[in-house]
Amino acid sequence: MTEDTHHSFLPDNIDEIIHWTLPGMAMFYRDCSLPAQAIAQYEPGLILRSPCFVDMSYFAGKPVKNCRFVVASSKAAPLFELDPAVAKWGLHTINCNSIFKVLDVYQATPQFTQIVLWHIPYRAIEVFSSSSLIMADLDVDAYIIKNARESLHQKMNLEVMAELEERAWVKRTNFAIGLNDDYTAHALKATTIPDKSRSLFNAVKKITGDLTDLNEPF
């Protein structure tokens, strides 16, 4: 197996980056009602940081809101396994200060847009922002986009998932990932983890095996 990029050098730690990013990668979902101003901020290639935890579901049905985030990640903690009360949501959580690359902004209908994000390690921002990951002639970026679009078209024919329309779930997921309240992007520089969030932050790192310095701020 070989790795390549469209127009960028390969760092010495490319194997570590691939091992962090790809094994166990899965698709997760969260639907939001967002203003057009927010959706317009997302464009392919954009790198974003979320200062807060990102809750998602491994379930998805027919969308009823105007935006769906699809997040490809190998480091989403299956917190539903620890709390039966959230099993109905298929709750997975990505840590605060996580970095995402926007892969696709797909307006499937005039009223609905799907945004695909790839969860990447902090110290690989330069690699992912300047290139696509090619492995054995497979363009991984394009592969994720293709699967996300095909999944959406299948899910358009499913029933709406009532559990993911519950007020408690909507309250914790109805915001634009990586954007401030004024719909500008958060700075990429990591922010200090609040004391009240430290225990969950550490738990997510342990559960997902995110224990090397690859995902630590410089």
Residue-level pLDDT at 62? 97
Q: Is residue 80 part of a domain?
A: yes
Distance of alpha carbon 26 from alpha carbon 72, whole angstroms: 6
Q: Is residue 157 part of a domain?
A: yes
Distance of alpha carbon 25 from alpha carbon 40, whole angstroms: 27
Q: Is residue 208 part of a domain?
A: no
Q: Is residue 180 part of a domain?
A: yes
Q: Give the mean model confidence (pLDDT) for residues 175-200.
A: 97
CB of 163 closer than 8 Å to CB of 169: yes
Query: Please, what is the average pLDDT of the chain?
Result: 94
Question: Rounded to 5 degrees, what are φ and ψ at 128?
Answer: -75, -25
Q: How far is CA 171 from CA 5, 33, 105, in A?
A: 39, 11, 24
Q: Is residue 99 part of a domain?
A: yes
Q: How confident is the model at residue 142 (pLDDT cuts 50, 70, 90)?
A: very high
C-alpha angle 160-59-84 in degrees, rounded to nearest 5 = 110
Looking at the structure of the chain, the number of domains it has is: 1
Q: Is residue 165 part of a domain?
A: yes
For residue 79, what are the domain limits? 3-202
* Single-letter residue type at 131: S
CATH number at residue 145: 3.90.176
